[in-house]
Amino acid sequence: MKCKKKKRLAFKVKAAICFGVVFSLILAAFLHFYFIVGPKVVEVSRAQVDSVATTVVSDAIYNVMLDKNYSYDDFVDIKCSSNNEISSISANSINLNKFARELSTEAQILLDGLVDSSIKVPLGSFTGINALSALGPKISVHIMPIGSVITSFSSQFESVGINQVRHSIFIDVNIAISVILPLGSKNVDFITQVLICENIIVGKVPDVYLNGLSK
């Protein structure tokens, strides 16, 4: 009887040890994948994600600009004094907000078309080892846009001659794209600045702050 109890106890101990070893291996594999392999795959796929996002932003801006035929005069109002000197430069916040809204909507439509898209990354990147990250056959990794498109404007004044200033207006676009991995997902933030219009202003430009734009 005692012998049977000892055997049962020994079996339980061995089972507990085996369970502990298996659990530890699974946990170690998960942590290795999440903290080492995941970031490495994202790093390797970053260039492709940026390329996809750049195409989306470029196409969205092109479509909106072509459809609405926006120009510099739609975004900026320049007022001159009686002696024909520039008295103020102000942003047309209504048109700027309208453009930003149209761009965000168009970009979101294009991003929604990426739901079933994928990029190719080398199998070696799944090892988490730098030396092997570019080796092996290409493996498909799904990507998916998350959240909404965030936009903001910035402005730049650059002297190009005597009393001649180039005024450039940029839109900054922020897009979040999720790289879907076997044990989870990693988010990649894409931020780009795109020139939407510029103009050469002839005359002395006053030191002003543009409403909605920063000098």
Q: Strand pairing partners for 142?
A: 118
Q: How far is the C-alpha of 152 from the C-alpha of 184, rounded, in Å?
A: 31
pLDDT over 90 (residue 84): no
Q: Encode pLDDT of 14-26 as tens digits.
A: 777 777 777 777 7
pLDDT, greater one: 58 or 122: 58
Indicate the average pLDDT of the chain.
Answer: 76
Q: How far is the C-alpha of 126 from the C-alpha of 41, rounded, in Å?
A: 6
Band of pLDDT at residue 163, cut at 50, 70 and 90: confident
pLDDT, greater one: 169 or 138: 169
Q: Encode pLDDT of 27-39 as tens digits.
A: 766 666 666 666 6
Band of pLDDT at residue 97, cut at 50, 70 and 90: very high
Bridging pattern class, strands 138-161 and 118-122 = antiparallel
- Who contacts 149 (Cβ-Cβ below 8 Å, separation ≥6)? 103, 104, 107, 108, 111, 173, 174, 175
pLDDT given at position 215: 46
pLDDT, greater one: 209 or 123: 123
- Who contacts 203 (Cβ-Cβ below 8 Å, separation ≥6)? 80, 84, 85, 86, 163
Average pLDDT estimate for 154-180:
85
Token output for 11: 């079996």
- Beta-carbon count within 10 A of 79 CB: 9
